[in-house]
Amino acid sequence: MANTRPSYKDDFYEAINYDWLQTAVIPADKPATGGFLNLVDEIDQLLMKDFDKKAADLANVADPRLANYLKFYQMASDFAARDRLGADPAKGFLDQLEELDDFAKLQAALYPLSLKNTALPFQLYVSPDMKNAEMNTLYAAVPSLILPDRTYYEKDDEQTKTLLEAYRQMSEKILAAFGYPAEKAAATVQKALAFDRSIAPLVKSAEEASEYTKAYNPRDFAAFAAYSKFLDLGALTEKLLGQKPKTVIVEEPRFFEHFDELVNPETFENLQAWLIVVNVNSLTGFLSEELRQIGGEFYRTLSGAKAAPSQKKSAFYLANSFYNHVVGDYYGKTYFGPAAKADVIQMVQAMIKVYEDRLQKKEWLKAETRQKAVKKLSTLMIKVGYPDEIDPLFSKLIVDPQKTLLANALYFTELNVRNHFSKWNQPVNKKRWAMSADTVNAYYSPTQNEIVFPAAILQAPFYDFKQSKSANYGGIGAVIAHEISHAFDNNGALFDEHGNLNNWWTKEDHQQFDKLAEKMVNEFDGLPFAGQKVNGRLTVSENIADAGGLSCALEAAKSEKDPELQSFFENWARIWRMKSSTAYQQMLLSFDVHAPNKLRANIQLENLADFFAVYEIAPGDGMYRAPAERVAIW
């Protein structure tokens, strides 16, 4: 951060956000603050205030789904009861894990453990089939690592050692609270860490996983079942689905091909310890205040946050995690009006028209490819505000006041898991949203070929009736076009208008696109940030989307009467403002597919001739980039 305000010509992001950066305070319970995050805080405060009032008058809450959410929120907020119970609500679950001292017992427990969404040395889940997007199919995935990415284990530097030590200390304290003697706790955690380290070399890095189309590796069911000699993966799969599938999509074949090296009689003690440590650690947020505080120590070390969220906020987040679309439905219907929806839809349609015009003018695209790209654009589904319906499952999440908070949560989890696997081999419900309406974000789904803008992001600084059209285009307009651009990034471009993984490009056009994408990789790769460097390959899809989004939004803004391009550029820089701990910045650099906010703001501007003209930027200025070095794809 600069000590004096820099010139717009040298560091546009710092110049626009200078006053804010000088005075912004990172909340103690967060690792960062800024445009998106400030909005999240405002919505959290608004909803907590509303829900506290409603919880005090439950008899007058007409929606039974919301009433049950409020009961669960109240239960999560009752720390006096939680403190009286201490670790007791989770001891039965811990006892179950401790009894799994051989493969036969583990096999017998796999199904009930899966219904509790227990962390296992593999994951099964249902999602649209990438090559038949109308239907849901079964995927097999790898377990999560303790550290954020495989690259941490490869470095084995002081940062890695510090993080693993923080995890070790936290886990030993948690086991001590469950009655483990110090020596047993230490030995159990060491074995768990050994199992975690054995997994790491066989798991994709974030960079590898960012090419998500490479996760589509169909395997015959018998071949999938044969991955393990010691666990009957087939029997578990059949029980979860109710029948034998023909195929399983294996996300990371290399991991499963080496599965017997990871999970075998020689490694069983380490596996059991890993099951105990990882799963018991995940339950601390449902227990006493002491355990809640201990259970957040590793994340606070990792992110640089100084304190745990308040009891009130943690209860709010915990309840939302089970009733997210109930909360979103309330927020959308209460705070998002039809006028705003109509205006945003008009902006989306305008942006699609701009995109179509740009596609038609792309000289490097052959007519055949251009025609298919326009077809994909024309079938893009638009969702704004909040969904017309939410999953009927939410009506089944009925709180039992006689049970503990954790017992209710585990019951809700089982309902969720059963509901999730019931969708296997069923048509995809295209009315469902992946994000709830109170989420400050937006997304593009390649298998649905849809763009979704929850109500929460459709407000200042992104969108505001009170700010100019140009400012709105620099905010929500760029976000809208960003999501459209994902249909044509290095991953999304491989899906057709039906959402199927299906290469619709001519060979020559795709080669040219790859060359342009490589220029985007190089534009960001190796840039210094937070004492480390940006990975241009990890972030390329989001950088392509940012570039397409900003340039298309700019064109849309220019098409309006009396455009205010300074307002456009300034709001673009404003929405990315962020102040964060160094630890948080470094963590994001390791796995986040988005470039750091400041670089997202500045570098994309350096690719636009209009930006140079408006601010009279010339060679020698910090924001200058020679025309030959500017990257333009869409």
Domain segments of the chain: what residues?
84-308, 337-390+432-629
Burial of 104 (0-12, 13-18, 19+ CB in 10 A): exposed
The residue written with tokens 């990415």 in the block is 149
pLDDT given for residue 79 in this prediction: 98
Q: Across-strand partners of 578?
A: 34
Name residues whose C-beta falls within 8 Å of residue 97's C-beta, 6 or more positions apart in sequence.
Answer: 272, 275, 276, 279, 280
DSSP H helices in 423-533: 469-472, 478-485, 507-524
Give the pLDDT confidence of 326-373 residue by residue, as tens digits.
999 999 999 998 888 888 898 899 899 999 999 999 989 999 999 999
Q: Indicate whether 538 pLDDT > 70.
A: yes
- Determine the average pLDDT of the residues in 545-552: 96
Phi, psi of 411 (to 5 degrees): -65, -45
Quote the CA–CA distance of 245 and 238 in Å, as a whole number.
7
Q: Taking a C-beta distance cutoff of 8 angstroms, is the pair 262, 199 a contact?
A: yes
User: What percent of the chain stands above pLDDT 90?
Assistant: 94
CA 395 to chain centre: 26
Per-residue exposure over 31-57, b if at least 16 CB sit within 10 Å of its own CB, e if not? bbbbbbbbbbeebbeebeeebeebbee
Q: Which amino acid is at 553?
A: A
| Mean pLDDT taken over the chain | 96
Cα separation, 204 vs 141, in Å, equals 11
Instruction: Please report the beta strands in 35-153, taking only residues with DSSP state E, as ranges in sequence order.
Output: 123-129, 132-141
Residue 520, both tokens: 């985007």
Q: At what angle do helices 565-575 and 35-55 cross, to 10 degrees?
A: 70
Phi-psi region of 116 (alpha: psi -120 to 50; beta: other; left: phi over 0): alpha
What pLDDT score was predicted for residue 295?
98
Res 343: pLDDT: 84
**Other CB atoms within 10 A of residue 546 CB:** 28
CATH hierarchy code of domain 84-308: 1.10.1380.10
Between 282 and 1, whose confidence is greater? 282
Q: Is the separation of the CB atoms in 479 and 556 below 8 Å?
A: no
Our separate counts of H helices and E strands in the chain read 30, 11
The SS3 of residue 83 is: helix
Among the residues of 116-265, which ranges form H helices?
150-155, 158-177, 182-199, 206-209, 221-225, 233-241, 253-257, 259-262
| Per-residue pLDDT band at 156 (split at 50, 70, 90) | confident
Q: Reply yes or no on whether the pLDDT at 109 is more than 80.
A: yes
Q: Looking at the predicted structure, is the pLDDT value of residue 75 above 90?
A: yes
Q: Is the pLDDT of residue 1 over 80?
A: no
Residues annotated catalytic, as ranges: 483, 546
Q: What span, in angstroms and rounded, lies between the C-alpha atoms of 416 and 402?
A: 21
Q: How far apart are CA 282 and CA 290, in angstroms?
A: 14
Mean pLDDT over residues 541-566, rounded? Answer: 95
Q: What is the phi/psi pair of residue 180, to 5°? A: -75, 130
Neighbours of 551 (CB within 10 A): 22
Tokens, residue 616: 């009279």
- Asked if the model's pLDDT at residue 410 lies above 70, the reply is yes
Per residue in 582-592, pLDDT tens? 999 999 999 99
pTM: 0.94
Q: Nearest to residue 452, comparing CAs of 543, 349, 381? A: 381
Take residue 459 and report the two structure tokens written for it: 């407000």
* Amino acid 2: pLDDT: 67
pLDDT tens digits, one per residue of 265-290: 999 999 999 999 999 999 999 999 99
Alpha helices, H only, 423-539: 469-472, 478-485, 507-524
How crowded is the C-beta side of 439, counted as CA atoms within 13 Å?
20
Specify the CATH number of the domain 337-390+432-629: 3.40.390.10
CA-nearest of 348, 374, 283, 310 to 90 is 283
pLDDT at 340: 83
Of 148-162, 236-250, 291-305, 315-329, minimum mean pLDDT range: 148-162
Does the fold of domain 337-390+432-629 match that of domain 84-308?
no
pLDDT of 441 above 80: yes
CA distance 518 to 405: 50
* Closest alpha carbon to 255 in 361, 143, 339, 152: 143
Query: Cα 495–513–253 angle (5° rounding)?
Result: 50
How do beta strands 132-141 and 123-129 pair? antiparallel
User: Quick one: which H or E segment has residue 219?
Assistant: strand 218-220
Tokens of 287: 């227990």
**Of 355-369, 406-420, 565-579, where does mean pLDDT reach its minimum?**
355-369
* pLDDT-based confidence at residue 453 (cuts at 50, 70, 90): very high
If you average pLDDT over residues 610-626, what whole number do you get?
97
The tokens for 288 are 């006493």
Going by C-alpha positions, the residue among 623, 533, 626 that lies closest to residue 15 is 623
Question: Distance from first CA to last CA of the chain, Å, rounded?
Answer: 32
Q: What is the mean pLDDT of residues 69-92?
A: 98
Q: What is the per-residue pLDDT for 337?
A: 81
